[in-house]
Amino acid sequence: MRKCAVFSVALLAVLSFMLPTQASAQGAFVGAGVTFPTGDYSDFGDGDGAKTGWLTMGGVSFPLADGGLSVFGEGFFGSNSHEEEGDKTNLYGAMGGVLFDAAEEGEAGLYAFGQAGFLVHSYKSDSFEEGSETGLAFAGGAGYGFPLGGVSGWIEGRYTHALFDDGNTTYFGFLAGLSFPLGGGDG
């Protein structure tokens, strides 16, 4: 897991240097919420599917131009217990994406995003063989952002799908969080 965290931080650092330096509204964000496994992830066929779990995430965003379009990178970690006592799956990884915010700057409004990256599915068990696999992941969703003084709050729904040799990991997530301006650029 430490390798993934180091990789995620390195990915976000590289992304920040690759983006335009004139971006004036860079920001950081953190959030947490609940995940609902679907498909193969919710039912492995042996009665040991993943149950409702939790997810935390954080990242940075950079505007591409006026008009609400921005790019972002994020790292995440979450966990789902299973029907079998003592079994759980930890999910972690990093993604980059594009976000379109329909609201004027500083006002409440809707946004939508799409992203791609990698997800690690790490299965832990007291009675079955444990394993960890890394796969390509895609996600998309929509949310509502609103000003809270010098920061912004947000709530969102997202759908995440990761591809592995032994199957797929898919879940819906509902998260809430805060965004913080980082300043910089020409203001």
Which CATH number is 40's domain given?
2.40.160.20
Between 56 and 185, where is the model more confident? 56
pTM of the model: 0.81
Position 23 in a domain: no
Residue 126 burial (10 A CB sphere; 0-12, 13-18, 19+): exposed
Q: Residue 157 is which amino acid? A: G
Residue 187: partners with Cβ closer than 8 Å, 6 or more residues away = 24
Position 85 in a domain: yes
Is 8 a residue whose pLDDT tops 70? no
101 HSE (CA, 13 A, CB side) = 24
Domain interval for residue 72: 2-13+31-181
Longest dimension (CA), the chain: 58
Position 39 in a domain: yes
Position 25 in a domain: no
**From start to end of 125-166, where are the E strands?**
131-148, 151-164
Position 186 in a domain: no
Q: In 20-41, which positions are buried (b, 16+ CB within 10 angstroms) versus exposed (e)?
A: eeebeebbbbebbbebbbbebb
20-73 pLDDT, tens digit each: 444 445 899 999 999 999 988 888 656 668 899 999 999 999 998 778 899 999
Position 165 in a domain: yes
Position 18 in a domain: no
Identify the CA nearest to 19 among candidates 11, 9, 31, 8. Answer: 11
Q: How many domains does the chain have?
A: 1
75-107 pLDDT, tens digit each: 999 999 988 788 899 999 999 999 999 988 789
